[in-house]
Amino acid sequence: MSAALTAKDFATSQEVRWCPGCGDYAILKAVTKTLADVGARPETTVFISGIGCASRFPYYVETYGFHTIHGRAPAIGTGLKLANPELDVWVVTGDGDSLSIGGNHLLHALRRNVGLKILLFNNEIYGLTKGQYSPTSRVGTRSPSTPTGSVDAPVSPGQFALGAGARFFARGIDTDKVGLSEVLEEAHAFEGAALAEIFQNCIVYNEDVFADFTDRKTAADTQLRVRHGEPMLFGAGKEKGIRFNAETVALEVIDASANPEQVLVHDQTNRVVASMLVDLKAPMALGVIYKNPADSYEKSWYAATSNGLKRSSSVADVLRSTNTWTVT
């Protein structure tokens, strides 16, 4: 058996070149720790990225990696997963890379349920290209490109995922070691497309945009950590809960100590409640919000071929055999 690896074994010798204090550092630490914890192997792990601050990720993880072009990482990942389904393929992307020019590719990766672990770093701004507003920027966001404030209606990554037919959607915070690690482990274990939105602080162009729920002093009252089969409780003493209001057809906060029987129990297979949790702003829902497994795209694709998961020969053998090939 191979010796167990540690987080350090997944760290490269490359100089990490993000702005000092960037949330990406914390995410990198969480990912390398998760890779070690789940027993990942560098030779069967691949990180693919597009363009943006987050997309430098493949340089900093001691695995195979591919820094592709803007928005195309899900397409490259799909091809790789079909070529070798046994590989552990992670896609690292930002809110601009994935939901603007890459929105079409992300949509199809999700609806097909391709076995990719997609980490969407959301800082609600274009950090690499000097702070333009992004698809997730809120109305009124002031930036170098919109000094008077953006008037665009923002995209909700969660609603986008659910609308595309995603089978897995989760949320984490860059500096939350425990919560983010749990999300990453769940995403890794999922066989289909697992999209994890990670709230990431851009200290240069959009600092503290998520402070209303990431501040540790108020986190107990502003964060709802959902776990399958457990009641939706929050607050320092778990005295607050989430109830479904049939009249307004929406979720609402109640006094859980006074009405414990009304507190919703999280069912991660319920798409309708997942959609409501995505829209809930106070508290902010974190953790695995929706998970409903089905056969992955690559499994279904190979099952539909005559050879199944077996290959008649290696790619190298085919390339060396002749100057012409017949594609069937």
DSSP, residue by residue, 12-75 = -SSPP-S-TT-THHHHHHHHHHHHHHTT--GGGEEEEE-SSSGGGGGGGBSSEEEE--TT-HHH
Tokens 């167990």 locate to: 4
pLDDT over 80 at 315, yes or no: no
pLDDT band at 311 (very low <50, low <70, confident <90, very high): low
pLDDT, position 226: 98
Q: Provide mean pLDDT across the span 136-141.
A: 95
Q: Which of 22-26, 143-147, 305-309, 313-317 has the highest mean pLDDT?
A: 22-26
pLDDT over 60 at 1, yes or no: no
Task: For residue 49, count other CB atoms closer than 10 A to its CB.
Answer: 27
pLDDT over 70 at 278, yes or no: yes
pLDDT band at 209 (very low <50, low <70, confident <90, very high): very high
Joined together, the tokens standing for residue 151 give 């008037």
Q: Provide mean pLDDT across the span 278-293.
A: 97
Report phi then psi at 177, rounded to 5: -60, -50
pLDDT band at 306 (very low <50, low <70, confident <90, very high): low
pLDDT tens string 33-64: 999 999 999 999 999 999 999 999 999 999 99
pLDDT, position 156: 97
- The CA–CA distances, whole Å, from 199 to 122, 175, 240, 305, 315 equal 5, 9, 24, 40, 40
From the options 3.30.1490.100, 3.40.50.970, 2.60.120.580, 3.30.1240.10, give the CATH code of 7-209+295-299.
Answer: 3.40.50.970
pLDDT, position 144: 85
Q: Provide mean pLDDT across the span 141-162.
A: 93
Q: Provide mean pLDDT across the span 156-173.
A: 98
Give me Rg for the CA atoms of the chain. 21
Q: Domain spans of the chain? A: 7-209+295-299
Strands (E), 149-280: 168-173, 194-199, 223-226, 233-234, 240-245, 250-255
Q: Provide mean pLDDT across the span 234-262.
A: 95
pLDDT, position 93: 96
pLDDT tens string 184-201: 999 999 999 999 999 999
Report phi then psi at 46, rounded to 5: -135, 135
Q: Provide mean pLDDT across the span 157-173.
A: 98
pLDDT over 70 at 328, yes or no: no
pLDDT, position 313: 63
Strands (E), 182-260: 194-199, 223-226, 233-234, 240-245, 250-255
